[in-house]
Chain A
């Protein structure tokens, strides 16, 4: 579904992203982990054609994202609050996205009804504009909006951050459910190793823009990752490089 090839991004001589080749097949739930500055958001921004890669390309569907815009019709994403329209109410925002994705009001309402639990009665009918919602509630709106119109690719940057524990658990349920659907490719980045190992079947670890690990999730994965991020293996990796 998605092919990343020879992708790099350099700002003023500093390379922040440098990936040789990653292939994400259709239906895979793909997790991206790494410390701050590892290049997770840069990679997602390239994937959404929001920034221009210095070399290489990303292909989403049949075409390269920077050459053809057809990926937009099957891809939904929530990166940060710049994906929300502050002066709309949540309902208006959902309908707006629905309009853009060819869904009528009834379709959107049906979808929203199935997320009643997730919203925890803090979103719908609260007579508040998005800009006045708390960060966590804004995130809930952004995440659910990506599910409107049955997209084939869903990209979520740090979806677990700012959410309360109950919502985190519910969100894991939602992503797991999507992962079982072989038509939906989910890409998630996170700082939370436990969450990401629970919901993703494949995990790629980035460090300073480079791919350090690419693992299919197994019961040992979490321990593996924890060991790596506690520093021992980072040290070892550095020594190998030298």
Chain B
């Protein structure tokens, strides 16, 4: 459980307390408004679970030979998913929200059946997810379909929620309707149980999926000279491992983060320097999520790297190019933000320069202090471990965000926004000049921490 989990607990608790009054103030009947959007919430939940929730099904091989009944093992594995963070984190929203409903004089029986209905829906998702192993295409399609529905609704062509809202509303108005989600939940639990019980064999349910491999030469990378050796490897690393693919997926999500800021969707984010904050974020998604774990990406074969005749500098340069190229690509993908005006895109461009010039080095420097081995074959835990978080990395992280915001604010309040952008851009350009200095520093850390790092990476492998 890391920083990510804390963040979500905080956000959900805040929403649980604030949403009722917010909706009321905006002139809505809070419960029915929320019921309207619950369908999107549950679909989104399923997509997120698919990518991030850890399934213990694969870790039960050693239990097979133990003197337990198979049904007990299945119960244990399924039960373990039930106590996952992805289930109880929503309690931070639903419990305060339900309490507020009660206090506000909603029918207590209705609130209780509604609350239990939500609980059942969350667990239905939990058990659907158990079946969704390696069905990425299906899950992505599902997400896209509902994104299209959302768009249709926003522009007033078709409102899906007129069909779904009555169901969720019904859980409150007609308590007997609780029976529907409960029947589905018990059905799916029973089905999950018998499904896995009959497939408890190494070559059936527990089989490891093997991918057909193709050799890739990636010869076009040779133009990068010496570092192409590592660049080729890094690209294969990203393409062929679950964990790194999850990271790429997350950095795509970062691209949309700007909508919250530039679209004026949230009032607190209206301040001028928040725009800078968003610009750094939307272009730096990959930079932050990949860069912070260099060299941990290579933890599984770190001893190999340490016994080969490897120039640290070439190794680092390869990772640096990766994050810089990814930042460049993000900047291009961000072109639609022009919709919010040229100034918004200017902010993004400047943010990208700062990311490439300053943050790319800082993030690699921070990574040098992280000694958490990465399990490449599992996409889970991408929200971070508690061990991947320490004071040193925090201190290095602060200027990544606050730096450009502060620089922009100085410019903004003295000579105006353009000067603010200029200051951030200049800082980025100056940063390029210090690249080799920072690299030397990182190399020093790698060398002095070598034995500790090897030992730490061995822990989980």
Contacts and interface: CB of A to CB of B under 8 A. Distances in A.
Contacts of A131: 377
A79 B303 contact: yes
Nearest to A83: B304
B451 A52 contact: yes
B300 A99 contact: no
A49 interface: yes
Interface string B359-376: 000000000000000001
Residue among A85, A89, A101, A132 facing the most chain B CB atoms (10 A cut-off): A85
B461 A87 contact: no
B302 interface: yes
A208 interface: no
Nearest to B229: A99
Contacts of A51: 451, 454-455
Given A83-B303, A96-B229, A72 B210 contact: no
Contact of A128 (B208, B213, B306): B213
Nearest to A142: B304
Contacts of B451: 50-52
Nearest to B208: A132
Contacts of A84: 301, 304
A128 B210 contact: yes
A100 B308 contact: yes
B162 interface: no
Interface in B289-336: 300-304, 306-310
A48 interface: yes
B307 A48 contact: yes
A100 B303 contact: no
Interface in B444-461: 450-451, 454-455, 458, 461
A72 B376 contact: no
Interface in A57-112: 69, 72-73, 75, 77, 79-80, 82-89, 91-92, 96-97, 99-101
B214 interface: yes
Given A51-B454, A92-B216, A100-B229, A72 B303 contact: no
B306 A100 contact: no
B233 A129 contact: no
B307 A127 contact: no
Contacts of B240: 87, 129
Nearest to B239: A87
A100 B229 CA distance: 8
B210 A132 contact: yes
A48 B303 CA distance: 9
A49 B306 contact: yes
Contacts of A50: 303, 306-307, 451, 454
Contacts of A92: 215-216, 236
Contacts of A77: 307
A164 to B, nearest CB: 21
Contacts of B458: 82
A82 B236 contact: no
Contacts of B136: none
A42 to B, nearest CB: 13
A87 B236 contact: yes
Contacts of B214: 89, 127
A233 B446 CA distance: 46
Contacts of A72: 307-310
B34 interface: no
A75 B376 CA distance: 28
Nearest to B218: A92
Interface in B416-451: 450-451
Residue among A77, A79, A129 facing the most chain B CB atoms (10 A cut-off): A129
A96 B213 contact: no
Given A96-B229, A96-B233, A75 B304 contact: no
A85 B240 CA distance: 12
B59 interface: no
B376 A86 contact: yes
Nearest to A149: B309
B301 A97 contact: no
Nearest to A98: B229
B304 A82 contact: yes
A109 to B, nearest CB: 12
Residue among B307, B450, B458 facing the most chain A CB atoms (10 A cut-off): B307
Contacts of A83: 301, 303-304, 307
9 contacts: A49-B450, A50-B307, A72-B308, A82-B461, A83-B307, A85-B233, A87-B240, A101-B309, A128-B210
Interface of A: 48-52, 69, 72-73, 75, 77, 79-80, 82-89, 91-92, 96-97, 99-101, 127-129, 131-132
Given A91-B215, A132-B211, 10 more contacts: A80-B303, A83-B301, A83-B303, A84-B301, A86-B301, A87-B237, A88-B233, A89-B214, A127-B213, A129-B210
